[in-house]
Amino acid sequence: MRQRFDVIVAGAGASGLMAGIQAARHGAKVLILEHMDRAGKKILATGNGKCNFTNEKQGIAYYRGKNPAFVLPALEQFGLEETLRFFRELGVRPISKRDGYYYPASGQASSVLEVLLMECRRQKVSIAYEIGIRSIEKENQNFCFHTKQGNFYSRACIIATGGKAAKKTGSDGSGIPYIASFGHKLTDIVPALVQLQGKQSFFKEAAGIRAECCLKLYIEHEKIAEDLGELQLTELGVSGIPAFQVSRYAAYGLLEGKKVLVSMNFLPGFSREQAQELIQKQFLVYGEGKTAEEAMIGLFPRKLNLVFLKESQIQPEKPAVSCGNKELKGLSFLIQHLESEIIGTKGFDHAQVTAGGVETDEICPDTMESRLAPGLFFAGEVMDIDGMCGGYNLQWAWSSGAAAGKAAAGFAVDSTGRKNPGGFQEKKERGRT
Ligand SMILES: Cc1cc2nc3c(=O)[nH]c(=O)nc-3n(C[C@H](O)[C@H](O)[C@H](O)COP(=O)(O)OP(=O)(O)OC[C@H]3O[C@@H](n4cnc5c(N)ncnc54)[C@H](O)[C@@H]3O)c2cc1C
């Protein structure tokens, strides 16, 4: 029995679920094929389990890739306002927190997944789990999904299989061969929003520290990116939002064999003179009867104070007031320029997203349709677009998924010449989905 659908979506992640819902809302009979035993596993991990699903601030500045402007038409069609309305109508009350980050009021990522799955059921979107797709081919007017469980046919196909980040959630790169089989090119892919591994030994001593920091990334001595926020120092290197934000550039630099370096400023609001003044006061005015280590108390976490003293070659037990001008200038310089060479990232398994993917110049930005294979669409992280921390990757999943779903339904309905979208297949063919 031929299992026919208007639209088949490969991948039941954030973008695939949104694409499926929108295609069904536009009259298509939809099947989503998922190789895991459940949908949206990654959604559950987002925002530390709270799901930062969009952001008040939107625009091209928050997206990366060869052509970040590619996101604009999809964001215009289904941006912040449409996303908030979509989730509100499904019952999720959005609340905005620090820096415009939006979360569900329940504080649970599972609410976002549950309402998506409820809407799939309401729209009669079928989801088939544990499906191993061997290949996707165009046969005459239809796409044929060859799977271990039999063949499935559709007029339009949406590939929403994600990248390679956090493999345990299902995105393992196994969607890439389907894309290549249609002649699409992929850019180099690297882990992004990921911890960076530093070369310097001080990371071991400072592991566990969190401190406000402006992190600058240099590639071959040229400043490429910077970010301000709470930096986390780990045994291996740097983590936390500032490290995540610059990590994609570091990963590409390393891929190209370039020298990558971070410079950390732990007094980001201070000019060089203000920093010197602060340290001099701390040591020479308030430092009477104190050691150098004691003079640093209250400035930074203790472990970090010890790193600063060690790196500027000041003995912690040295009397504070006996420190010379040169030493104190060196110390304040180091506090604002603690450097480390970057030798790696923590890899795809620990990354939140994949940078790189299907070349966007081969995709129509209004519809997410392939320029090479009519009826083939893309949604989400599988494309060469990655967002910054702050809800931008999910926003891209919602926006691109909505555009692809709507356009794929239009394509399928047009190509069958039906007046009754969604009704061309035989009911008995619904099968085990
Ligand atoms: C720990 C963590 C925290 C994050 N936090 C946030 C956050 O707070 N805010 C934010 O905006 N973004 C966050 N992200 C990023 C965000 O989750 C992703 O960018 C987004 O989920 C991508 O959606 P997608 O649908 O494109 O891909 P995915 O969510 O990866 O979904 C792809 C789906 O396709 C399936 N699949 C893959 N290959 C196949 C195949 N061959 N056959 C069938 N099915 C297949 C997978 O199993 C998966 O279900 C986070 C990511 C992680 C890992």
Taking the centre of ligand 1 as the mean of its atom positions, its distance from the CA of residue 389, in whole angstroms, is 14
- What is the mean pLDDT of the segment spanning 336-358? 97
* C-beta 267 within 6 A of ligand 1: no
Nearest residue CA, atom 39 of ligand 1?
161
Dump strand ranges (E) for 90-149.
94-96, 101-104, 126-128, 133-139, 142-147
What is the model's pLDDT at position 105? Answer: 97
Q: What percent of the chain clears pLDDT 90, i.e. is strictly above it? A: 92
What span, in angstroms and rounded, lies between the C-alpha atoms of 126 and 356?
A: 30
Classify 63 as helix, strand or coil.
strand
Structure tokens at 195: 């911890």
Nearest residue CA, atom 51 of ligand 1?
352
What span, in angstroms and rounded, lies between the C-alpha atoms of 339 and 207?
A: 16
Closest CA to 136 of 104, 90, 175: 175
What is the model's pLDDT at position 99? Answer: 83
Taking the centre of ligand 1 as the mean of its atom positions, its distance from the CA of residue 38, in whole angstroms, is 13
**3-state class percentages of the chain: helix first, strand second, coil last, to nearest 5:** 40, 25, 35
Q: Where are the domains of the chain?
A: 3-188+357-430, 195-346
pLDDT tens per residue across span 244-273: 999 999 999 999 999 999 999 999 999 999
pLDDT tens per residue across span 15-52: 999 999 999 999 999 999 999 999 999 999 999 999 99
Averaged pLDDT score across all residues of the chain = 94
What is the residue type of 83?
A: T
Taking the centre of ligand 1 as the mean of its atom positions, its distance from the CA of residue 69, in whole angstroms, is 22
What is the domain class of 3-188+357-430 according to CATH?
A: alpha beta
Question: Dihedral, CA atoms, 306, 307, 313, 316, nearest 10 degrees?
Answer: 0
Taking the centre of ligand 1 as the mean of its atom positions, its distance from the CA of residue 224, in whole angstroms, is 27
pLDDT tens per residue across span 272-319: 999 999 999 999 999 999 999 999 999 999 999 999 999 999 999 999
Taking the centre of ligand 1 as the mean of its atom positions, its distance from the CA of residue 167, in whole angstroms, is 9
* C-beta 171 within 6 A of ligand 1: yes
- 235 φ, ψ to 5°? -55, -35
What is the model's pLDDT at position 2? Answer: 66
Taking the centre of ligand 1 as the mean of its atom positions, its distance from the CA of residue 353, in whole angstroms, is 8
* C-beta 400 within 6 A of ligand 1: no
pLDDT tens per residue across span 167-217: 999 999 999 889 999 999 999 999 999 999 999 889 999 999 999 999 999
Does the pLDDT value for residue 387 go beyond 50?
yes
Nearest residue CA, atom 35 of ligand 1?
11
For the CA of 14, the nearest atom of ligand 1: 25
CA atoms within 13 A on the CB side of 359: 12
pLDDT band at residue 429 under the 50/70/90 scheme: very low
- What is the mean pLDDT of the segment spanning 411-415? 87
